A = this chain, B = another copy of it.
Amino acid sequence: MTSTPSPLDATQLGAYFALIEASSLLKHAVEQQLREAGDLSYVQFQLLATLGDSPTGSRRMTDLADGVVYSRSGLTYQAQTLEKRGLVTRSQSSDDERGVTVTITDGGRAVLAEVFPGHVAVLDDLLFAALSRADIETLADVLARARDHMRQTPPRSAQPRRRKRTTAANQP
Contacts and interface: CB of A to CB of B under 8 A. Distances in A.
Interface in A130-158: 130-131, 135-140, 142-151, 153, 155-157
A162 interface: no
A36 interface: yes
A125 B154 CA distance: 10
Interface stretch (A5-13, A81-89, A96-104): A5-13
Interface of A: 2-8, 11-12, 14-16, 18-29, 32-33, 36, 67, 70, 117-118, 120-131, 135-140, 142-151, 153, 155-157
A22 B150 contact: yes
* SS class, residues of chain A in contact with chain B: helix
A7 B120 contact: yes
Given A2-B118, A137-B11, A18 B126 contact: no
B8 A123 contact: yes
